[in-house]
Amino acid sequence: HPPTTAREGPAAIGLEGVVKTYRSGQETVAAVRGIDLAVHQGEFFSLLGPSGCGKTTTMRMIAGFEEPTSGTVRLAGRDVTGVPPDRRDVNMVFQSYALFPHMSVADNVAFGLRRKNVPKDEVRRRVGEALDLVELSGLHRRRPGRLSGGQQQRVALARALVNRPGALLLDEPLGALDLKLRQAMQIELKRIQREVGITFVYVTHDQSEALTMSDRIAVMNEGVVEQLGPPAQIYERPASRFVAGFIGTSNLLSGTVTTGVGEYARVEFDGIGHVLVRTDQTSGSAVDVTVRPEKVHIGADEPAPGMSRLRGTVGEVVYLGASTHYTVVLANGAEVVVFRQNSSDASNAAERGDQVWLSWRPDHSYALPR
């Protein structure tokens, strides 16, 4: 966490038992089925999940554009359920930017301050600061129509930050940009957030985007939060099949716990090998064990004792420059994906059809009960 993130005191944003159902004709759609979460002050927090999981609905309830069917929304400890959007200390940035085309960049940014009758000098100073922050100082006289997509996004951001909201809500703000620009803006957004120290809540369906920028991520699926934690924890230690499948690439191997070996239980794959994993599942339990592709070592030599080990045949080999991706087929038909860095000393790489050993450390696997 950056030093500005405050865990003490009231949460910047608190959701307690929040449910939202929509009526459409005869049908009831449960968009959000019960969310409890607390966003810390100064945190970069992401809501991540596939289309339709309820991210936007959650965001709109924080902003006040929607009211929960039940539950409570708090901002800085205050119950704001039922309070209209303009009386909540939050701003929202949309993917569409929603800039005024007939106004200059500076006037777009100044708009909200002028409406609140902020004195002229202060408006000029704060607009200047906001445009400095997003690195657009030279373009204050331009019309939005004559800016690139990335520059328009910066104007929208400056406009949302100029009145220093308690929290900024961003709904897929980079969705309209091409990949290169989007990646540059991810770093940029994170820098801006760190500089202003304002709580950001960021909605995205793009897992790499959420991993890049967030202090913590709430992974949503079908209206609930499946897992909440820092990026590394979400990535390294997925708590459910859904999270394992949604974040990055994960191998899932279905097996049965046979015996406990020291601190690790052993999941046996007959004639293929075994996986060692820490689990409280008892012998005979059906489990799915996970392992990330970059944790798996592929080679011809028999693995050292104490490692998870599986034998298989190399199928697809995809060379990607910096790395190579292998698909290894086990005798039971299961497939394991392996990512291997192509460092300068990379030698005896495996080829399609080779018999290989796969091995990895026991603490790189997690067992999900089935």
In the complex with ligand ATP, the residue whose CB is nearer, 50 or 112, is 50
In the complex with ligand ATP, the residue whose CB is nearer, 56 or 285, is 56
Three-state DSSP at 138 gives: helix
In whole angstroms, how close is the CB of 176 to ligand ATP at the nearest point? 14
In whole angstroms, how close is the CB of 289 to ligand ATP at the nearest point? 29
Whole-number Å distance between alpha carbons of 8 and 239: 26
Three-state DSSP at 135 gives: coil
In whole angstroms, how close is the CB of 211 to ligand ATP at the nearest point? 17
Per-position DSSP letters for 273-290, written without gaps between them: EEEEE---PPTT-EEEEE
In whole angstroms, how close is the CB of 22 to ligand ATP at the nearest point? 3
DSSP 41: B
In the complex with ligand ATP, the residue whose CB is nearer, 55 or 88, is 55
In whole angstroms, how close is the CB of 28 to ligand ATP at the nearest point? 9
Name residue 135's amino acid.
E
User: Is the CA virtual torsion 7, 12, 16, 18 positive or negative?
Assistant: negative
Name which of 54, 52, 19, 20 is nearest 36 in CA terms: 19
CB 326 within 8 A of CB 338: yes
In whole angstroms, how close is the CB of 274 to ligand ATP at the nearest point? 39
In the complex with ligand ATP, the residue whose CB is nearer, 54 or 238, is 54
In the complex with ligand ATP, the residue whose CB is nearer, 32 or 105, is 32
Whole-number Å distance between alpha carbons of 300 and 200: 48
In the complex with ligand ATP, the residue whose CB is nearer, 5 or 221, is 221
Binding residues for ligand ATP, rule: CB under 6 A, are 22, 24, 29, 31, 49, 51-57, 205
**Rounded (10°) angle between helices 105-115 and 120-133:** 130
